[in-house]
Structure 1
Amino acid sequence: MILLYYILYFSAQIFVMTSSTKNIRKQPVRKRKKKQPKGVLIWSRVKWISVAIIFVGFGIWFGISFKDGINYLFNSDKDLKAEKTVYDIRNVEVLSRHSEKMIGFDVSQYQGIISWEEIDSIAQHSLLEFVFIRSTMGTDGKDKAFELNWRGARANHFIRGAYHYYRPDENSVEQAHNFIKNVRLSEGDLPPVLDIEELPKRQSMDSLVVGLKKWMDIVEKEYKIKPILYSGEHYYSKNLQKWFPDHVVWIANYNFFVEEIKPEWHFWQFTEKGVINGIDGKVDVNVFNGNRSEIRKLLVR
């Protein structure tokens, strides 16, 4: 509980400093300042004591709520090769609370060349078992690293899935065919994923929903499996939830104080600051709301 100690220590120091500052007076040059009423001094002290209590209380709550993450951050184990950051406090806490769930990650060309054979776990804490890989974007975009990542994931026994980044103001039918042209799914793969994050600029939300449904219908007909829908929690709940109530959903929410997956989420992207051996830079990390036997029900047969 080193971090808790420091929080309490610095809170006490702040209190001492603010209290002692009140007793230091600059010597007047000509006339003496009028003394403050006793009631004002008492209220001032009560105010600073209250602030100190709040700091201490927050420190105690934080230390208890994020104890696993704090222990990891200050662990001096030299075998931990991955660079530690303050984000690991929440990341490790989330992983600890989902030890019975499956953990995965997602990648695109922005992760560069990935050493797939080095990937095994995150923070040497949780085994990584599935991966979503960006395949296509819009009507004609293709991720430059898709083929390499797609083969690497299968060769190293990850359950893999391909996702399409949807561009709201481009033709939905052409976007669906772009995905189909570039992605061949095999038995044991995850369903296709439609990633929608942007608001349309040249059409209404109702029109956007019509386009999303067209994409879903074309892709489902091609692969004989219903696609997964990915979006941020706010975007999904405000714009999509009522139109796609029966789809498997993959929700992004990076809020530091959200520590557990919601029952209605099938996949939860809880951070974009993961550190994984074999991948340069930060990585998105995900929780599947189930175990291996439950994820098999979703896979391509």
Structure 2
Amino acid sequence: MYGLWKTACVLAAIGLLAIIGWHYATGWHPAAKDYPLQGIDLGEAPGPVEWGTVRARGADFAYIVATSGTDRRDPAFEGNWAALPEAGLRRGAVHVFSLCQRADEQANAFNTFVPQAGDALPAAVDIAFHADCTARPDRAVLIEELARFVTMVETHTRKPVLLRITKPVESTYRLSEALARPVWSVANVFVPHYAARPWRMWRASDFRRIDGIEGPVNWDVVAP
């Protein structure tokens, strides 16, 4: 009987520690004293967002996906784009780049869909390996294509484009070495150092949970 009671106590303690650990992990973010500007970025079709609550939970800005490739436009973009300044959040638009489609056509899709806005943060292009595209162009070809995309989008937005480059893509193509644009690095918890130049923005967590958004959220900080 004592053995069963002891086992139950141990299991209860393990369960409590797991709950505490989960709450700590999902609530963690880099210290505001080190990174005063912090915010979120959302993926495609994010679902309903209470932007006022997100602002109250410490977000200063939000990046939202506008377009992907040449033909996907996020249906939630326009509503969220309009709601962000009303909630007191800076806003930025993201294009998810496809290695399988022409860069000029992707830039045209983004420029047509995303309105010019003087208050907008620099646009960002997400460069990652995606399951729906197996193409792996030569490095010189990809650099030329991205340079074309960046030039066209910067002409539209009149601000330098942020390059959100994942570590696998950077390891394969060394894009941050070739394209002189601000880098947005991606790495959970640990400060990333995989780009050729210091990052300007860091996605520090893709598992944080905050009120106002259902499920985990991508939490980002700006370099001080």
Q: Is the 8 A contact 1:108 1:146 kept in 2?
A: no
- 1:152 and 2:87 aligned: no
| Cα distance change of structure 1 residues 144 and 108 upon mapping to structure 2, 3 Å threshold | farther
- 1:289 and 2:212 aligned: no
- Which residue number corresponds to residue 191 of structure 1? 122
| Cα distance change of structure 1 residues 225 and 269 upon mapping to structure 2, 3 Å threshold | same
> For 2:25, which of 79, 83, 87 is the aligned residue?
87
State the one-letter code of the partner of 1:142: R
- Which residue number corresponds to residue 221 of structure 1? 155
**What's the CA shift for 1:202?**
5.9
> For 2:138, which of 194, 200, 204 is the aligned residue?
204
Larger Rg: 1
**What's the CA shift for 1:101?**
2.2
What fraction of aligned residue pairs are identical, expressed as a percent?
23
Any residues of structure 2 matched to 1:1-301 within 5 Å, and which?
73=20, 85=23, 87-88=25-26, 92=28, 94-96=29-31, 98-122=33-57, 127-198=58-129, 201=135, 203-239=137-173, 240-244=175-179, 246-254=180-188, 256=189, 258=190, 260=191, 264-290=198-224
**What's the CA shift for 1:178?**
0.2
**What's the CA shift for 1:285?**
0.4
**What's the CA shift for 1:206?**
2.2
**What's the CA shift for 1:214?**
0.7
Q: Distance in 2 between matches of 1:108 and 1:203?
A: 25
- Which residue number corresponds to residue 6 of structure 2? none
State the one-letter code of the partner of 1:231: I
Q: Is the 8 A contact 1:111 1:281 kept in 2?
A: no
Which structure shows the higher helix fraction?
1
Query: Which digits, 9 at most, give the CA deviation of each residue in 1:252-274, with x for residues without a partner?
Result: 112x5x1x466811000011111
Q: Distance in 2 between matches of 1:235 and 1:202?
A: 10
State the one-letter code of the partner of 1:232: T
| Cα distance change of structure 1 residues 287 and 98 upon mapping to structure 2, 3 Å threshold | farther
**What's the CA shift for 1:205?**
2.8
TM-score of the two chains, using structure 1 as the length reference: 0.61
**What's the CA shift for 1:144?**
1.4
SS at match of 1:139: coil
Q: Is the 8 A contact 2:55 2:88 kept in 1?
A: no
- More RCO (CA 8 Å, sep 6+): 2
Query: Which digits, 9 at most, give the CA deviation of each residue in 1:206-246, with x for residues without a partner?
Result: 212211111011111222222111111342254212211x2
| Cα distance change of structure 1 residues 226 and 104 upon mapping to structure 2, 3 Å threshold | same
Q: Distance in 2 between matches of 1:146 and 1:191?
A: 16
State the one-letter code of the partner of 1:273: F
RMSD of aligned residue pairs (Cα, Å): 2.5
State the one-letter code of the partner of 2:102: N
5+ long unaligned stretches in structure 1: 1-9, 11-69, 75-83, 291-301
State the one-letter code of the partner of 2:25: Y
Q: Distance in 2 between matches of 1:185 and 1:285?
A: 25
Q: Is the 8 A contact 2:66 2:113 kept in 1?
A: yes
TM-score of the two chains, using structure 2 as the length reference: 0.80
| Cα distance change of structure 1 residues 100 and 270 upon mapping to structure 2, 3 Å threshold | closer
State the one-letter code of the partner of 2:89: F
5+ long unaligned stretches in structure 2: 1-9, 11-16
